Amino acid sequence: PQGLLELSWNVSYPEQAVHFQILIRDLQFGLLFGMSDRGEFENADLAVLWSDGHNSYFGDAWSDTKGQLHMDSQQDYQLLGAQRAPEGLYLLFRRAFSTCDPKDYLIEDGTVHLIYGILEKPVHSLRAINISAIHRGLQRVQLLKPNITIPKLPSNRKTMEITAPDIVIPSNETTYWCYMAELPDGFPKHHIIMYEPVITTGNEALVHHMEVFQCADAFNSFPHYNGPCNSKMKPERLNYCRHVLAAWAMGAQAFYYPEEAGLAFGGQGSSRYLRLEIHYHNPLLFNGRRDSSGIRLYYTDTLRRYDAGIMELGLVYTPVMAIPPGEDTFVLTGYCTDKCTQLALPAAGIRIFASQLHTHLAGRKVVTVLSRDGREQQVVNADGHYSPHFQEIRMLKEMVAVFPGDELITTCTYNTEDRSRATVGGFGIREEMCVNYVHYYPQTQLELCKSAVDPGYLHRYFNLVNRFNDEEVCMCPQVSVPQQFSSIPWNTFNRDVLKSLYGFAPISMHCNRSSAVRFPVRIASQP
CA 79 vs CA 92, 168, 324: distances in Å: 6, 41, 47
Percent of the chain beyond pLDDT 90? Answer: 76
* Residue 147: per-residue pLDDT: 83
368 in Cβ contact with 380 (< 8 Å): yes
Give the residue, 43 or 516, on which the prediction is more confident. 43
Neighbours of 280 (CB within 10 A): 25
Q: List Cβ neighbours of 76 (8 Å cut-off, separation of 6 or more).
A: 60, 95, 96, 99, 101, 104
The 10s digit of each residue's pLDDT in 9-53 is 999 999 999 999 999 998 999 999 999 999 999 999 999 999 999
- 52-100 residue pLDDT tens: 999 999 999 999 999 999 999 999 999 999 999 999 999 999 999 999 9
Closest CA to 485 of 323, 376, 354: 323
Question: How much is the pLDDT for 398?
Answer: 92
Q: 309-315 and 56-63: which strand pairing?
A: unpaired
Q: Residues of the chain with pLDDT > 70: what percent?
A: 96
Q: Where is average pLDDT lowest: 2-6, 118-122, 409-413, 420-424?
A: 2-6
Span 420-443, mean pLDDT?
Answer: 91
Q: What is the pLDDT of residue 389?
A: 83
Which one from 191, 358, 385, 439 is the annotated catalytic residue? 358
Per DSSP, the three-state class of 378 is: strand
Please state, in angstroms and rounded to a whole number, the distance separating the CA atoms of residues 24 and 91: 8
Class of domain 158-304: mainly beta
524/527 Cα distance (integer angstroms): 9
Contact 147, 55 (CB under 8 A): no
CB atoms within 10 A of CB 51: 17
Give the other-Cβ count within 10 Å of 7's Cβ.
Answer: 15
Topology, domain 5-141: Immunoglobulin-like (2.60.40)
Q: Any catalytic annotation for residue 176? A: yes
| Range 508-527 burial, b when 16+ CB lie within 10 A, else e | bbbbbebeeeebebeebeee
Q: Does residue 507 contact residue 332 with C-beta atoms inside 8 Å?
A: no
- Answer yes or no: are the C-beta atoms of 148 and 396 closer than 8 Å: no
Full strand arrangement of the beta sheet holding 273-281: 226-228, 174-182, 273-281, 207-215, 241-249
Residues 435 and 319 sit within 8 Å (Cβ to Cβ): no
466-489 per-position pLDDT tens digit: 887 766 666 666 788 999 999 899
In the beta sheet, which residues pair with residue 47?
33, 60
Beta strand ranges found along 282-362 (DSSP E)? 290-291, 294-300, 306-307, 309-315, 322-323, 330-336, 350-358
280 given a catalytic annotation: no
Which among 176, 225, 240, 457 is annotated as catalytic?
Answer: 176
Evaluate whether 5-141 and 158-304 have a shared fold.
no
Question: What is the domain partition of the chain in residue ranges?
Answer: 5-141, 158-304, 315-513
In the CATH scheme, what architecture does the domain 315-513 have? Sandwich (2.60)
Contact between 282 and 170 under an 8 Å Cβ cutoff? The reply is yes
Task: Specify the 3-state DSSP secondary structure of 306.
Answer: strand
Other beta carbons less than 10 A from residue 456's beta carbon: 11
The mean pLDDT value for 153-169 works out to 95
pTM flag (> 0.75): yes
DSSP state for residue 461 in the 8-state scheme? H
Instruction: Give the confidence band of 377 by pLDDT, cuts at 50, 70, 90.
Output: very high
